[in-house]
Amino acid sequence: MMTPLYSIIIPTYNRWPVLHEAMTSVFQQTCQDLELLIVDDGSTDATRTHVLQLAQQYHRPIRLLFCQRGGPAKARNAGLRKAQGTFVAFLDSDDLWFPDHLEAARQLVLRRPHAIDFCFADTQLTRPAGLRTSYLQGKAIEAVPHDRDGSWRVFHRTIYPELIPASTVITSSAIIRRDLLQHLGGFDERLTPFGEDTDLWLRVAAVTHSSAGNWSVTVHRRKLADGLMNSGQEWLWRSKHIELMKDHLQGPGRMYKRLIAQRLADLYRERAVIGLRERAYGRSIRDLMGLMCYDPMALPKHLHILMLRAGRWLENRMQSA
């Protein structure tokens, strides 16, 4: 059996109404040198039955894997352990690929067989108002020195520093050599569900300069209603990113201490604001202390805001007594 060029890994949990569209977008790729792995992360709906029916409809073999509920990082890693392709491409069950997504990357690798370890593509986003926009447009990564190859930008250096303030890589757009990804150990499952993607692409960028971005949109990302975060989730998201940034400060990000320190300061400040909004003043004070560790000059301004909010809270309590 020949090794496929691509191993496509789709994690899913009770998402059949959109999963079948994601699978269809794989079956409709103009490049079909691939294997498809669906990782069912403990679904309680009829996902398994529907997946097998759709595969039969398209006359395509699939590998259906099961794991106990553990989140997308665990599910992706389960797929990675079974993958056989030269490259691995991830697709979330609520996202779609345009038909040329895989072929565009294949052509680039053919033209530059030793220059690409990792690539990603621009992504069309569906906003709550229904507007669709480019994800890469206006990002700092546009300024990274590069060679142009059609719609591709083949970067001259690591993109690690550009990924620190905000991840430029949407996982459903990413394609990476399987041996490199396995060497890195895949996704860090401790960071699920809000930091594993950012962490992985930072670790990838830390070890390879052979990367490229496609400024042609080949991915459609749909934001489902249950993907909106409440205050508790916003706080947890920032907590996970604080954890991963501290890890990078001691590890692959040592060369970029200033940038990571600024990112940590931003995260602590954002978390302090969430605490103020929720009237969790003790938590906000601790976060302002964290902010001071990474950006001492910012403390007076934010301490003033905290004292003002705390004073209003105390006044309201006294009036209601």
In-domain check, residue 118: yes
pLDDT of residue 37: 98
Q: Which residues contact 196 (CB under 8 A, 6 or more apart)?
A: 72, 73, 187, 188, 189
Q: What is the pLDDT of residue 314?
A: 60
Structure-token match 């906003």, residue found: 127
Per-residue pLDDT at 306: 59
- In three-state secondary structure terms, 107 is helix
Q: Given this model, what pLDDT does residue 225 score?
A: 46
Clarify whether residues 116 and 13 are in a common domain. yes
Please give the Cα distance from 205 to 211 (Å, whole number): 8
Q: Is residue 205 domain-shared with residue 219, that is, in the same domain?
A: yes
pLDDT at position 228 is: 57
Answer yes or no: is 208 within a domain: yes
Residues of the chain with pLDDT under 50: 225-226
Domain boundary among 227, 248, 280: 227
Domain end position, chosen among 227, 256, 291? 227
| Same domain as 116, residue 72 | yes
**161 in the same domain as 295:** no
Is there a single domain that holds both residue 98 and residue 200?
yes
- In terms of Cα–Cα distance, which of 27, 31, 24 is closest to 4? 31
Total number of domains in the chain: 2
Its domain, for residue 266, covers 231-320
Residue 64 · residue 43 · CB < 8 Å: no
Q: Do 19 and 60 share a structural domain?
A: yes
Q: Which pLDDT tens digit goes with each residue over 7-61? A: 999 999 999 989 999 999 999 999 999 999 999 999 998 898 999 999 899 888 8
Mark whether 267 and 249 lie in a shared domain: yes
Q: What CATH number does residue 46 fall under?
A: 3.90.550.10
Q: Does some domain include residue 1?
A: no
What local confidence, expressed as pLDDT, does residue 64 receive? 94
Q: Looking at the structure, tell me whether residues 214 and 244 fall in a common domain.
A: no
**Best CA proximity match to 243, nearest among 281, 203, 195:** 195
Q: Please indicate, yes or no, whether residues 151 and 177 belong to a single structural domain of this protein.
A: yes
Indicate whether 128 and 158 sit together in one domain. yes
Q: Tell me the three state secondary structure of residue 29.
A: coil
**Co-location of 21 and 157 in the same domain:** yes
Same domain, 219 and 235: no
Q: How far apart are CA 312 and CA 277, in angstroms?
A: 12
Last residue of a domain, which of 227, 243, 273? Answer: 227
